[in-house]
Amino acid sequence: MSLLELRAIKKTYLLGNSIFGKRKTVEAVKSVTLTLESGVCLGIVGESGSGKSTLGKIILGLEKPDQGEVLFQGKNLHSFKAKELKELRRNLQVVFQDCYSAVNPRLTIGEIIAEPLRNYERLTSSEEQKQVQGLLELVGLNPEDMYRYPSQFSGGQLQRINIARAIALKPKLIILDEAVSALDALVQVQILNLLAQLKEEFQLSYLFISHDLQAVNYIADRLAVMCKGEVVEWLDDMGQLERLEHPVSKKLLSSVLPQYPGFL
C-alpha cells in the first residue's frame, strides 16, 4: 500500500466577475494522479502557477478538491473522523517557504518546538525540555537556543527550528513547500543535507515542492513535473534527468545541466 495516493484530483478557484458578469475561474489542478511510497522523497517541480502549492494544500486538508480522492495509508482523507484526523496531523507535517511567519515571534524556540509535543504527548516539563533540546541538536542548533526568540535567528537557523518542530512527533510524511527557496545557496545545501540525513534516520517520506529543479535533484528520489495544473512528466529515477522531454522540464533542466541544449 502506498503511503499517499492522489486519484484524479481537481481544483478550480473562482475569481472575480468578468466584464460580462460571468464568474472567471482558474483550474489550479486539473486531474492529478500520483503515488508516494514510504521512505521516498517525491519532488514536485513546475513553474510558478502550475498548481504545486494547491496540491500540497489539498493533501494537508487546507483546501478541498472539487473532484478526486486523497488516500493516506489507503484511507480516504475526506472520510476521516475527528480522532483519525488528529492522528493524520501527527503523521503529516509541513514546512513552508516563509520561515518567519511560520513561528510566533512572542514564543521562545523551546515553546515553538514543544507545541506539537504538548498537543499529542503528556510529558513532564523535564521530559519536554530533554526532547526539545534533543531536537535542537538533531537539527544542528544549540540546546541553549530553546530560551531565545525567533528574532535572534537567521533565516536558515529558523528553518532548522521549523524542521525540528515538524519532526518532533516523528511523522510519516513531511510536505516541504519551497522550504529552501528563500535561503542563500550555501544555506540551501546545508538544509537539504540536514533533510536528507533526517529522512534516513527516521525513515521519513517527503513531498518536496519547488520551482527549482536543482534543489529537487539534490534530494528527491522521484520526480513529477507539473504544468498548468497537470503532471506532464514523471521520473522514477533521478539519474535519468536527461530523458525529460516536456518543454517545461527542458526549461527547468537548463538550470541543472547548463550544457543542456534546451531553453537557456
Ligand X SMILES: Nc1ncnc2c1ncn2[C@@H]1O[C@H](COP(=O)(O)OP(=O)(O)OP(=O)(O)O)[C@@H](O)[C@H]1O
**Grid cell locating 152:** 535572534
Q: Rounded to an integer, what distance in angstroms lies between the CA atom of residue 113 and that of residue 133?
A: 9
8 Å CB contact between 243 and 260 = no
Comparing CB distances to ligand X, the nearer of 42 and 117 is: 42
Identify which of 2, 102, 101 has the alpha carbon closest to the alpha carbon of residue 42.
Answer: 2
Comparing CB distances to ligand X, the nearer of 43 and 51 is: 51
Residue 106 C-beta: closest distance to ligand X, Å: 28
Residue 16 C-beta: closest distance to ligand X, Å: 10
If you ran DSSP here, which 8-state letter would residue 2 be given?
-
Residue 63 C-beta: closest distance to ligand X, Å: 8
Residue 250 C-beta: closest distance to ligand X, Å: 18
Binding footprint of ligand X on the chain (CB under 6 A):
13, 15, 26, 28, 46, 48-54, 211
For residue 149, give every residue at least 6 positions away whose Cβ sits within 8 Å of its Cβ, in sequence order, or none. Answer: 105, 106, 107, 108, 109
Comparing CB distances to ligand X, the nearer of 13 and 263 is: 13
DSSP for 74-136? TEEGGG--HHHHHHHHHHEEEE-S-TTTTS-TTS-HHHHHHHHHHHH----HHHHHHHHHHHH
Pairing of strands 92-95, 173-177: parallel
Residue 28 C-beta: closest distance to ligand X, Å: 3
Q: Rounded to an integer, what distance in angstroms lies between the CA atom of residue 201 and that of residue 80?
A: 29
Q: Rounded to an integer, what distance in angstroms lies between the CA atom of residue 209 and that of residue 168?
A: 21
Residue 142 C-beta: closest distance to ligand X, Å: 33
Comparing CB distances to ligand X, the nearer of 48 and 126 is: 48
Residue 83 C-beta: closest distance to ligand X, Å: 29
8 Å CB contact between 168 and 135 = yes
